Amino acid sequence: MTRPAIAPDTDSVTVAETGVGRFQVEVLAAGSAFLADEPVEAGGLGSGPTPYDLLASALGACTAMTLRLYAERKGWPLTRATVRVLHTRTPKGRDRFARELTVEGPLDDDQRRRLVEIAEKCPVHRTLEGRSEIITVLTAPPDLAARERSGEGHMHAMLEACAD
């Protein structure tokens, strides 16, 4: 008699075809249900995220959660972390995840740099990094980005640089 690969009492994820369209599946995870699918141009219905969208979502969610946990433990004033992830394939067929981090709050430059380092240590990043390339960049929060575009942020930075 063979043992099941997953014990029945574990918190596993279940994925089952819905019978609607070629690729639509229902995903049951942590008491939540949602659809996954392929885009219309790939023969799906476009009714949910693709498997690669889910993988990118896992990286983004884990990154944001890890940043939050670290900032709380350090007592840092992180008010919001936003992570954008784009999955592509390199010409050599290697998976590439481009990750943009936006950290909001009155954080200093050293704290922001440290949060980028911490992003590289999130568990999903570590799972993927052996076979995938993951590129992480820090972006400005929306209000700071708008000030930079208007020139206000640059002027403020110049004034600070010129202060005695």
Q: Verify that 137 and 76 share a domain, yes or no.
A: yes
Looking at residue 6, its pLDDT comes to: 65
How far is residue 86's CA from residue 31's CA, in Å, rounded to a whole number? 27
Give CA angle at 95 (52, 24), nearest 5°: 15
* Structural domain that includes position 10: 1-49
How far is residue 33's CA from residue 25's CA, in Å, rounded to a whole number? 10
Q: In this model, does residue 127 exceed pLDDT 80?
A: yes
Q: Last residue of a domain, which of 34, 49, 64?
A: 49
Beta strand residue intervals within the chain, DSSP E: 14-17, 25-29, 32-36, 80-89, 95-104, 132-139
Q: Verify that 118 and 129 share a domain, yes or no.
A: yes
90 and 133 Cβ atoms separated by less than 8 Å: yes
Q: In this model, does residue 100 exceed pLDDT 70?
A: yes
Starting at the edge strand found earlier in the chain, the sheet holding 14-17 runs: 14-17, 25-29, 32-36
Q: In this model, does residue 136 exceed pLDDT 90?
A: no
Q: Verify that 135 and 149 share a domain, yes or no.
A: yes
- What mean pLDDT comes out for the span 119-133? 89
Dihedral angle over CA of 135, 52, 28, 128, nearest 10 = -40
Q: Verify that 59 and 18 share a domain, yes or no.
A: no
Q: In this model, does residue 147 exceed pLDDT 60?
A: no
Work out the mean pLDDT of the chain and round it to a whole number.
86
CATH number for the domain harbouring residue 141: 3.30.300.20
Which token pair is 124?
A: 């999903």
Q: Verify that 62 and 111 share a domain, yes or no.
A: yes
Q: Verify that 115 and 35 share a domain, yes or no.
A: no
Q: Verify that 61 and 38 share a domain, yes or no.
A: no
Q: Verify that 13 and 75 share a domain, yes or no.
A: no
128 and 97 Cβ atoms separated by less than 8 Å: yes
Looking at residue 157, its pLDDT comes to: 47
Q: In this model, does residue 23 exceed pLDDT 70?
A: yes
Q: Verify that 38 and 70 share a domain, yes or no.
A: no
Looking at residue 143, its pLDDT comes to: 65
Q: Verify that 60 and 110 share a domain, yes or no.
A: yes
Percentage of the chain exceeding pLDDT 70: 80
Model confidence band, residue 162 (pLDDT cutoffs 50, 70, 90): very low
Q: Verify that 119 and 42 share a domain, yes or no.
A: no
More reliable by pLDDT, 143 or 140: 140
Q: In this model, does residue 18 exceed pLDDT 90?
A: yes
Q: Verify that 133 and 77 share a domain, yes or no.
A: yes
Q: What is the crossing angle of helices 142-150 and 152-162, to 10°?
A: 80
Instruction: Give tens-digit pLDDT for 57-81.
Output: 999 999 999 999 999 999 999 999 9
Q: Give the chain's domain count.
A: 2
How far is residue 18's CA from residue 111's CA, in Å, rounded to a whole number? 46
Looking at residue 132, its pLDDT comes to: 80
